[in-house]
Amino acid sequence: MKKLLLVLLSALLVLSAAPMAFAAGDGVLGGVVAVDTLQLKGTVTALDMKARTVTIKGEGGRTVMLNAKNARNLEQVKVGDIVVADFVESLALFVTKPEGGPAAGGAQVVKLAPKGAMPGGMVADVMEIRAQVVAIDYKARTVSLKGPQGNVHTLKIPPQAKNFDKVKKGDDVVVRYTQAMAINVTKP
């Protein structure tokens, strides 16, 4: 599990490194960064190899059925095995000097368990959007951004995010949203 979490965090850093390097360079006037993590743990209660689904009962008693169609080594999983899922989510908003108007892009990293090992893996997605601040509410901690297709989307900025007060209406910003998940299956 520690190795898989290390891979997850490494991928998150790799996917975030290029954007952060850009953000630390010339032309950046300020920024807001927020990170949230969550770990869920449960026990396998049912398997359907034909449908490639796994039913897991969480520590709180809630049961969920997961689609495991892309899982490698699913045949290794047995009822009673422990499943741990770690989630990391981050939002970075950096004020920049204008450079070419709104744009969007993204990247994904996927790592599966080696053949023959217990199932596990991680996936990390990063999306970057260059947009303009069209409205901001410091008290409600929201910022409305006009994206590359002219659509306006309002983001809630969490209290732990620093420098929110430096973002102003009319600012050009780069928003990077990163979401990563690692799943590991172990014997009880």
* pLDDT digits 0-9 by tens, 19-70: 333 333 344 445 677 788 889 899 999 999 999 999 999 988 999 888 888 8
Name the residue type at position 30: G
Is residue 146 within 8 Å of residue 131, measured between CB atoms? yes
pTM here is 0.62
Q: What pLDDT, in 10s, does the model give residues 89-114?
A: 888 887 776 666 667 888 888 888 88
Average pLDDT, the chain: 80
- How far from the centroid of its chain's Cα atoms is residue 61's Cα? 25
Strands of the chain (E only): list them: 28-48, 53-58, 63-67, 82-96, 103-112, 120-137, 142-146, 152-156, 172-186
**Range 155-165 average pLDDT:** 81
- Tell me which residue of 159, 156, 71, 88 sits closest to 125, measured CA to CA: 88
Q: 34, 91 in Cβ contact below 8 A?
A: yes
Q: Which two tokens stand for residue 13?
A: 């850093």
Count CB neighbours of 160 within 10 A: 10
